[in-house]
Amino acid sequence: MDKDETLLRLKNVEGHVRGIARMVEEGAYCIDLIRQIQAVQAALNKVSNKILSDHLHSCVITAVRGADQAERERVLKEITEVYDMASKV
């Protein structure tokens, strides 16, 4: 995902969150709020997944193919940590 596409998606999410805040201020129905929050979470997950995929296909492949053992271990540890954090959410 290129930088411009990522920023556009994040700005859309930002606008969506502002809309949810307005809904709260206006006393919107709870289930409607939850649905909108879930939509934002899904949008953020798509951005996160695309960034991770790009990382795996660039930085990780470069490190795994490289000669630096420490760099390979560092990159693999990062991926494990990201996966661990995602499973805690």
> At 89, is the pLDDT very low, low, confident or very high (cuts 50, 70, 90)?
low
Mean pLDDT of the chain: 93
Is pLDDT above 90 for 88? no
Q: Is 65 exposed, middle or buried (0-12, 13-18, 19+ CB in 10 A)?
A: exposed
CATH 3.40.50.2300 fits 3-88, yes or no: no
Q: Residue ranges of the domains in the chain?
A: 3-88
Amino acid at 16: H
- Residues 71 and 35: their CA atoms lie apart, in Å, by 42
> At 1, is the pLDDT very low, low, confident or very high (cuts 50, 70, 90)?
low
Asked whether 36 and 19 are in contact (CB, 8 A), the reply is yes
pLDDT digits (tens, 9 = 90+) for 7-46: 999 999 999 999 999 999 999 999 999 999 999 999 999 9
